[in-house]
Amino acid sequence: MSDYLTKFSTVNTFVFDVDGVLATGDLLVMNNGDLLRFMSSKDGYALKVLAESDKYNVAVITGGKSDGVVTRLKRLGIEHVYGSIENKMEKFKEYVQENNINSEHTLYMGDDIPDYEIMKSVGVPVCPKNACKEIKDLSIYVSHINGGEGCARDVIEQIMKCQGNWAV
């Protein structure tokens, strides 16, 4: 078993960034200033399966503000969705403490510098194919899929399969 799969077998908590991970990072700026994001239905399916499982903690921490993204993630069953977060590490520490989570068994998927501090503090830092160099260098696994195009599905499915929890 490769080193990253050994780590994957210990994961019981998933934390994701939005822009560049669950969304492509491309923003469509509307006339009223709203920002529209593009998200993958493949990621959505995997997030729903993950959220419906009683074996994992799931959270999303993003600096972005989007009521649409929050609504979508809540509909998928993700209870802990934190948006408009200026200090992601502070929110992460709060989430871990409130939910009695061991960060050594936590996967964090990020793509850029605002995710760096959290990724240094977790046992399983991972990123999409198009993450920045500093994040790739820190990650134990770099998905072969870009952010917003199914990279979350990639890691969720691999982890659930190696733990015997994926549907098929």
Q: What is the pLDDT along the chain (168 residues), one digit of tens a residue?
A: 468 999 999 999 999 999 999 999 887 788 888 877 889 999 999 999 999 998 999 999 999 888 889 999 999 999 999 999 999 999 999 999 999 999 999 999 999 999 999 999 999 999 999 999 999 999 999 999 999 999 999 999 999 999 999 987
The amino acid at 56:
Y
Q: What is the pTM of this model?
A: 0.95
Alpha-carbon Rg of the chain, whole angstroms?
A: 15
Task: Name the residue among 52, 47, 49, 59 with its Cα closest to residue 17.
Answer: 59
Distance separating alpha carbons of residues 148 and 159, to the nearest angstrom: 19
* Half-sphere exposure in the Cβ direction for 150 (13 Å, CA): 7
Domains identified in the chain and CATH numbers: 3-162 (3.40.50.1000)
d(CA 26, CA 23) in angstroms, rounded, equals 8
Rounded alpha-carbon distances, angstroms, from residue 39 to 21, 73, 167: 9, 11, 23
The first and second tokens of residue 163, run together, are: 């733990």
